[in-house]
Copies of this chain bind each other. A is one copy, B any other.
Amino acid sequence: MKYEPINLEQKFSLFSEQWKPKVIAEMNDYQFKIVKLEGDFVWHDHPETDETFIVLEGKLRIDFRDGSVNIQAGEMYVVPKGVEHKPYAENEVKLILIEPRGVLNTGEAGGDITAQNNIWI
């Protein structure tokens, strides 16, 4: 039997909307999501979990209340649980998010930009 890998570029080609994470895989109760980001997000945190960003294309900046981190293609960063952060990308960036199933993109912040959760692609 031939099993199929998950091709990231192929998955990214299936959508163009930004700030709407799509689930591409699960590992135990964690999900791998891909997302395209551009511009400024809202301040939020995830009180119950760390959150991993792996940047595949472009440059992402994550602002914290006391500083920031710049993450470019080939780099990753784990935002600790409970730490307020705000992603920002001057130009579109493509990345993988890894976090437990059920985590919302805006954490506790809510609002219009809260993406529907658990959308598979």
C-alpha spacing A99/B27, complex, angstroms = 8
Known: A32-B52, A75-B6. A27 touches B64 (CB 8 A): no
Known: A6-B76, A75-B7, A76-B32. A25 touches B52 (CB 8 A): yes
Q: How many subunits of this chain does the assembly comprise?
A: 2
Nearest CB to that of A6 among chain B residues?
B76
Total interface residues in chain A, CB < 8 Å: 39
Closest beta carbon of chain B to A62's beta carbon, Å: 8
* Interface contact B27-A78, CB-CB below 8 Å: yes
A74 within 8 A of B: yes
A108 within 8 A of B: no
A102 within 8 A of B: no
Surface stretch bound by B, among A37-45, A65-73, A111-119: A65-73
* Interface contact B75-A5, CB-CB below 8 Å: yes
Type the 1/0 row for A1-28, where 1 means its CB is closer than 8 Å to any CB of B: 1111111110000000000000011111
Query: Sorted from nearest, which 9 A-B pairs have the closest CB atoms?
Result: A1-B67, A3-B69, A5-B75, A5-B71, A27-B50, A27-B52, A5-B77, A6-B76, A7-B75
